[in-house]
Structure 1
Amino acid sequence: MAARSHRSPRRPRRRTALVSVAAVAAVGLAASLVIAFGPDRDTGTEAAGKAGATPAAATTRASAPPSGTPERKKPSATPSKSPSPSASKTTPSATPATEPTKQPTAATGRSGSASGQLAGRIRPGVDYEGVATFYDAGPGGSGACSFGAGDDVMTAAMNTTDYEVSKACGAYVRVRAAGGAAVTVRITNECPSPCRPGQLDLSAEAFAKLAAPSRGEIPITWNLLSPATSGTLSIRYKTGSSQYWCGIQVLGHRNPVARLEVRAGGAWTPLPRTEYNYFLSEQGAGCGGALRITDIYGERLTVEGLTVRPDVVQRTGAQFAAH
């Protein structure tokens, strides 16, 4: 190696026996000084020291963060646990659990934003075309809506399509004939085939307000009303109702009823509606408990304190707002 060869003293050549011991010693001393202070040895040692220290220190800093610095974690975009719904929102999506008690008139009127979701086929602010016929409605217009006898003779039967499994029951409609005559009737019955969509089968008394009975059938237009009334709605449990099974009917409502719910197990549960205009609780859930009634405009009325009294009309003191 170069370093070892520089440290070894050169062996002088034997040219003459006359070289003195002093000359040999001087040459050896000069060679030692040149080797000790030569630039090659110094530069190589310094380079070797710098090349070994710097990468080691850099590797140490890159491989691990300082022990006193905590590792930062990125926040997760997805929550670790989804919030569980409250018990009051366990009703199906059709139930307006998050709707306000009363929708603003502007939102429920002719735009159909709120009423369109609840009204079904008969919507507020829509004029319908059809024909009017008439029949012997009987006392009070009793019929498929199961209202029973009454004093009101201005009634009508709705065609099956627009009757829509009793959704039209209790609705007030304004009927206009081509000549300008008009009459307001309440839907109390269903008119099966051959009645067609748009057709109203009026009571004989109501038809006579529009045209001579001899005409038999006339073209009409009609629309839904929300009439003025001083009365309040009532509740009636069907014959045979008990805490184990019950049918519930709403009477005297200003606006068509869209939904009836019972409170059972801490939640509001909607009941299915029959074609004879009763809401049924087949397993008895909520029978005799609080009721919540929603009209097609989204207004909800809560009725409490009613007991199961079959075939008895029980007044509530509440009524839907006019629109």
Structure 2
Amino acid sequence: MASRSHRRPLRKRRTALTLTVAAAAVGLLVSLVIALLPGGGADTVRTAAEPATGARPTAPRATHATSPALKPSKTPKPSEASKASRAPASAAPTRSARPAPAATRPSAPRPVSGAAPLAGRIKPGTTYNGVATHYDAGDGDGACLYGPSPDLMVAAMNHADYETSRACGAYVLVRAANGASVTVRITNECPLPCAPGQLDLSKEAFAKLAGLSAGRIPITWSLQSPALSQTLSIRYKTGSSSHWCGIQALSHRNPLARLEVRTGGGWTRLTRTDYNYFLSPGGTGCGGPLRLTDIYGEQLTVDGIAIRPDTVQPTRVQFTRR
């Protein structure tokens, strides 16, 4: 039988073990309670379980405090918003009313000086090289069908630059190598073998540059917009009526680019022939208002021109000098 001295220590160990188990149970219970509390979690449990002084540094934890409800931002009233972004009335650009075009000159805005958006092969501000020859111009009439010329300072344009009569009526300054010059009006076409750049001058015009015996001389030439005293005129072709008509413009300062007639739907452009008339095969617009446009884009409106074949009818308008 064991002695009493041996039994007492055993009781003491059992008591100590019981106290240790009880302490561990209490600690576990406390941990569970803390974990179930609001705001508790893995971080909270870990913090409670770790010793107060540890060798391992802990990263700072984000707090989970509930953020207060955000207040809606104040939306400015329409009047306040417009005040903030609107410039003063005096600074705002005002759109000026466009003046009504003149009855005889409803012209589009003029292009910059020297620009000719409707020009063909012959353009202003350009100097062309070629040769000059001469021919007997008679009364100055030719392929352009202008009729007798008031003077014989006329020329025939080579076929390429004649360009289906687009050169008709153009004024050209011609210069010779010796410094002599003369201004001529294109009234005729010089057929092949006239080369591009070549001008066939009337004998009277050629004589201003050199003797007729020279026959052929090198020249330079350029388009002009001369001072003229007369206004533009209109002529209807032989056989014209309200069912068919051909219309021609005469004495225009600048080369003519378009001729239009007024119809119910607006303006109708007529086709130009190589003999310098604009045709309306079905009679559209014959005897009505006309609109003429030069190579610079300037437009002139002519009214009151009756169908009078082979009669030159003056107008009161002329293209601007360039």
TM-score norm. by structure 1 comes to: 0.66
Is the counterpart of residue 242 in structure 1 residue 238 in structure 2?
A: no
Distance in 2 between residues matched to 1:189 and 1:290, nearest whole Å: 28
| Contact kept in structure 1, 2:171 and 2:224, CA below 8 Å | yes
What displacement does 1:266 show? 3.2
Q: Secondary structure of the equivalent of 1:317?
A: coil
Could you say which residue in structure 1 is the equivalent of 2:129? Answer: 129
Tell me: CA distance 1:103–1:222, structure 2 relative to 1, closer, same or farther (3 Å). Answer: farther
Contact 1:274 1:280 in 2 (8 A): yes
The AA in structure 1 aligned to 2:107 is: T
> Shift of residue 265 of structure 1?
1.5
Equivalent-residue separation in structure 1 for 2:164 and 2:113 (angstroms): 23
Quick check: 1:103–1:297 contact (8 Å CA) kept in 2? no
CA RMSD of aligned residues (A): 1.1
Q: Which residue of 2 aligns with 1:268?
A: 267
* Residue aligning to 1:91: none
2:199 pairs with 1:186: no
Counterpart amino acid of residue 305 in structure 1: G
Alignment correspondent of 1:298: 297
Structure 2 residues not aligned, in runs of 5+: 1-105
Q: Distance in 1 between matches of 2:227 and 2:284?
A: 34
Is 1:104 equivalent to 2:129 in the alignment? Answer: no
Deviations 1:4-29 (A, max 9, x none): xxxxxxxxxxxxxxxxxxxxxxxxxx
Where in structure 2 are the equivalents of 1:100-179 lying within 5 Å? 101-104=107-110, 107-109=112-114, 112=115, 115=116, 117-139=117-139, 141-179=140-178
Shift of 1:231: 0.7
2: CA distance, partners of 1:305 / 1:193:
41
Name the counterpart of 1:66: none
CA contact (8 A) 2:233 2:250 kept: yes
Q: CA deviation at 1:102?
A: 4.7
1:219 is matched with which residue?
A: 218
- How many Å separate the matches in 1 of 2:196 and 2:264? 41
Alignment match, 1:40: none
Aligned in 2, Cα 1:186/1:308: closer, same or farther, shift over 3 Å?
same
Pairwise CA distance, 1:143: 0.4
CA contact (8 A) 2:234 2:315 kept: yes
Which one-letter code corresponds to 1:131 in the other structure?
V
1:7-56 CA-to-partner distances (Å, cap 9, x unmatched) read xxxxxxxxxxxxxxxxxxxxxxxxxxxxxxxxxxxxxxxxxxxxxxxxxx
Question: Which residue type is aligned with residue 104 of structure 1?
Answer: R
Q: Deviations over 1:241-261 (max 9, x none)?
A: 000000000001000100000
1:299-314 to structure 2, matched below 5 A, reads 299-314=298-313
Q: Aligned partners of 1:151, 1:272: CA distance in 2, in Å?
A: 28
TM-superposed deviation, 1:104: 3.5
Q: Residue type of the partner of 1:125?
A: G
Residue correspondence of structure 1 range 4-15 to structure 2 within 5 A: none
Contact 1:108–1:297 (Cα < 8 Å) also in 2: no
Deviations 1:168-194 (A, max 9, x none): 000000000001000000000000001
Q: Provide the identity percentage.
A: 68
Structure 1 residues 162 and 103: alpha-carbon distance in aligned structure 2, compared to 1, 3 A threshold: farther
1:218-255 residue CA offsets vs partner (Å, 9 max, x unmatched): 00000000000111000000000000000000001000
Is 2:261–2:285's contact at 8 Å kept on the other side of the alignment?
yes
C-alpha spacing 1:176/1:102, structure 2 compared with 1 (3 Å): farther
Misfit runs of 4+, over 4 Å: none
Cα distance in 1 for partners of 2:151, 2:108 equals 29
| Cα shift readout 1:127-185 (whole Å, capped 9, x = no counterpart) | 0000000000011x100000011321000000000000000000000000001000000
Structure 2: how far apart are the matches of 1:145 and 1:250? 11
Contact 2:110 2:297 in 1 (8 A): no
Amino acid at match of 1:154: M
Could you tell me which residue of structure 1 aligns to residue 67 of structure 2? none
Q: Give the aligned partner of residue 233 of structure 1.
A: 232
Which letter maps to 1:160? H
- Matched letter for residue 200 of structure 1: L
Residue pairs, 1:72-83, within 5 angstroms: none
Residue 310 of structure 1 aligns to a residue in which SS? coil
Q: Which amino acid counterpart does residue 314 of structure 1 have in structure 2?
A: Q
Partner of 2:287: 288
Structure 1: give runs of 5+ residues left out of the alignment.
1-99
Name the SS for the 1:151 alignment partner. coil
**What SS class does the counterpart of residue 118 from structure 1 fall into?**
coil
**Structure-2 separation of matches of 1:125 and 1:102:** 22
Equivalences for residues 201-220 of structure 1 within 5 A: 201-220=200-219
The equivalent residue for 2:18 is none
> Letter of the aligned partner of 2:305 in structure 1?
L
- Structure-1 separation of matches of 2:201 and 2:316: 31
CA–CA separation in structure 1 for the residues paired with 2:281 and 2:251: 25
